[in-house]
Amino acid sequence: MGQTVFIPRELDANEPRVAASPETVKRLVGLGFEVIVEKGAGLGSRIIDQDFAAAGAAIGKAADASKADVVLKVRRPADAELKGYKPGAAVIAIMDPYGNDAAVAAMAKAGITAFSMEFMPRITRAQVMDVLSSQANLAGYQAVIDAAAEYDRALPMMMTAAGTVPAAKTFIMGVGVAGLQAIATARRLGAIVTATDVRPAVKEQVQSLGAKFLAVEDEEFKAAETAGGYAKEMSKEYQAKQAALTAEHIAKQDIVITTALIPGRPAPKLVSAAMVASMKPGSVIVDLAVERGGNVEGAQPGKVVTTENGVKIVGHLNVPGRVAASASLLYAKNLYAFLETMVDKAEKELAIKRDDELVKATMLTDGGKIVHPNFAKATEAPRTEPAAIAATIMVADASDKPAAKKTVAKKPAAAKSPSSKSKGTA
């Protein structure tokens, strides 16, 4: 069919992942595509150009994007990249559109058909395309590895002739895909693990991994999950009660890992400064939501902060990218599985079915317009990267008393399609 798929090298110096693997290149060639991989695109993920070439790809340069019918990326294209794409090209990536209306508008103006992989609906046929799950799984694993490195003590209990080394107490806040993997990894390393989440359905999963579940299990808790399986934003009264419960618990922990994100919203603050101050010197907190404002008061994006009382707050960016060789292989399979659904096998050409539920859920721009309902108001303003969305403190300080129990009107969930998901949410 003569159609071309282009795999660029990511421009962000902090993004080592790549949107293809030798395996997916081979499969793309099998579908009838000509595949061009930019020179050096896979080096950050330990994939050399020769491996891509052996799988059937041509090794090219950035300018080759101008002839591509499909561009597979990790991150949203920058202005310089958009200028090099031909109108009508399908661009598939993790677009991170929330709070970036100008960037969405820029993609529409460029005339590309942009797909946001993090909006993939959680249905059976799309499980293999779920980039949030594939990347969050590795983020949860890496969070424990990073915590162990900063903790500089052994995690498992060790009984020796010279004495006993106690097991590290680890607390996981937020039990999505990342949280579950963090629980499993910490347990494998021998830590004593507890976990909390506002969704009642995860209690059994936590216990099945050998961890203890901690939560205020009232009536609001029983209804604290959306139809799409995500956590709802809880009332201030519930947050205060949960804060009171967790404050005492956190003070006794050696390691705390937070993973909580709400689609399209700033990350909820789960750990206050007072809670951090209550922890022992040498304790470690890993904030996996730092790119969305953070779950931990005092966390700084891209930094490891040591507080006055000797607690380390780890705020690494792009945590899946810290395991790039594994993350890229999974992400590449996610992209290939989605692209394959848009290929006419008989004609061997790209045939986007705009009424398909996967396409409708993930398509951001098409034909020069913003087509996703969540971003219909994005303006055609010149593209500028906005400042980080400020998050408000969503739990009470450890010193606050829990609110008196009373009937509270539930705050309605933010309007969104069931498929809307934020980066890193799982």
Contacts of 267 (CB under 8 A, 6+ apart): 260, 261, 289, 290, 292, 293, 294, 295, 391
pLDDT in tens, 115-164: 999 999 999 999 999 999 999 999 999 999 999 999 999 999 999 999 99
Q: What pTM did the predictor assign? A: 0.84
Instruction: Tell me the average pLDDT across 91-117.
Output: 95
Instruction: Tell me the average pLDDT across 241-248.
Output: 84
CA–CA dist 417, 19 (Å, integer): 26
pLDDT for position 297: 95
Out of 133, 272, 328, 420, the active site residue is 133
Cα separations in angstroms, 314 against 145, 193, 321? 12, 19, 15
Q: Is the pLDDT of residue 400 over 60?
A: no
Instruction: Tell me the average pLDDT across 379-389.
Output: 42
Out of 127, 207, 208, 399, the active site residue is 127
3-state secondary structure the chain: CCCEEEECCCCCCCCCCCCCCHHHHHHHHHHCCEEEEECCCCHHHCCCHHHHHHCCCEEECHHHHHHCCEEEEEECCCHHHHCCCCCCCEEEEECCCCCCHHHHHHHHHCCCEEEEHHHCCCCHHHHHHCHHHHHHHHHHHHHHHHHHHHHCCCCCCEEECCEEECCCEEEEECCCHHHHHHHHHHHHCCCEEEEECCCHHHHHHHHHCCCEECCCCCHHHHCCECCCCCECCCCHHHHHHHHHHHHHHHCCCCEEEECCCCCCCCCCCCECHHHHHCCCCCCEEEECCHHHCCCECCCCCCCEEECCCCCEEECCCCHHHHHHHHHHHHHHHHHHHHHHCCEECCCCEECCCCCCHHHHHHEEEECCEECCHHHCCCCCCCCCCCCCCCCCCCCCCCCCCCCCCCCCCCCCCCCCCCCCCCCCCC
pLDDT for position 309: 96
Looking at per-residue pLDDT, the higher value among 384 and 95 belongs to 95
pLDDT for position 238: 79
pLDDT for position 276: 96
Out of 9, 122, 188, 322, the active site residue is 122
Active-site residue 130, yes or no?
yes
How would residue 199 be classed by pLDDT, with cut points 50, 70 and 90? confident
Contacts of 58 (CB under 8 A, 6+ apart): 34, 35, 36, 37
Active-site residue 17, yes or no?
no
Residues 20 and 329 sit within 8 Å (Cβ to Cβ): no
Burial 220-237 (b: 16+ CB within 10 A, else e): bbeebbeeeebbbbbbeb
Residue 419 tokens, joined: 């498929």
How would residue 423 be classed by pLDDT, with cut points 50, 70 and 90? very low
pLDDT for position 264: 74
Q: Is the pLDDT of residue 279 over 90?
A: yes
Active-site residue 230, yes or no?
yes
Look up residue 101 and give its amino acid. Answer: D
pLDDT for position 414: 42
Q: What domains sit in the chain, N to C, each tagged with a CATH number?
A: 4-130+323-375 (3.40.50.720), 139-321 (3.40.50.720)
Residue percentage of the chain with pLDDT more than 70: 85
* Whole-number CA gyration radius for the chain: 23
Instruction: Tell me the average pLDDT across 339-355.
Output: 93
pLDDT for position 350: 94
pLDDT in tens, 73-83: 999 999 999 99
| Average pLDDT in the chain | 87
Q: Which residue has the tokens 């359905």?
A: 201
CA nearest neighbour of 95 among 403, 380, 382, 364: 364
Displacement of CA 211 from its chain's centroid (Å): 23
Q: Is the pLDDT of residue 415 over 90?
A: no
Instruction: Tell me the average pLDDT across 55-75.
Output: 97
pLDDT for position 397: 32
Residue 94 tokens, joined: 């993790």
pLDDT in tens, 3-49: 999 999 999 999 999 999 999 999 999 999 999 999 999 999 999 99
pLDDT for position 218: 72
Q: Which residue has the tokens 């003590």?
A: 153
CA–CA dist 404, 123 (Å, integer): 40
How would residue 236 be classed by pLDDT, with cut points 50, 70 and 90? confident
Q: Output the CA torsion sign for 381, 387, 388, 392.
A: negative
Q: Is the pLDDT of residue 425 over 50?
A: no
Residues 134 and 334 sit within 8 Å (Cβ to Cβ): yes
CA nearest neighbour of 13 among 279, 318, 293, 372: 318
CA nearest neighbour of 184 among 205, 154, 153, 159: 205
Instruction: Tell me the average pLDDT across 241-253.
Output: 89
Instruction: Tell me the average pLDDT across 185-196.
Output: 97
Out of 69, 130, 146, 366, the active site residue is 130
Query: Largest Cα–Cα distance of the chain, in whole Å?
Result: 72
Q: Is the pLDDT of residue 275 over 50?
A: yes
- Bridge partner residues of 192 (DSSP): 169
Q: Is the pLDDT of residue 214 over 50?
A: yes
Least confident of 277-281, 335-339, 386-390: 386-390
- Bridge partner residues of 309 (DSSP): none
CA–CA dist 341, 337 (Å, integer): 7
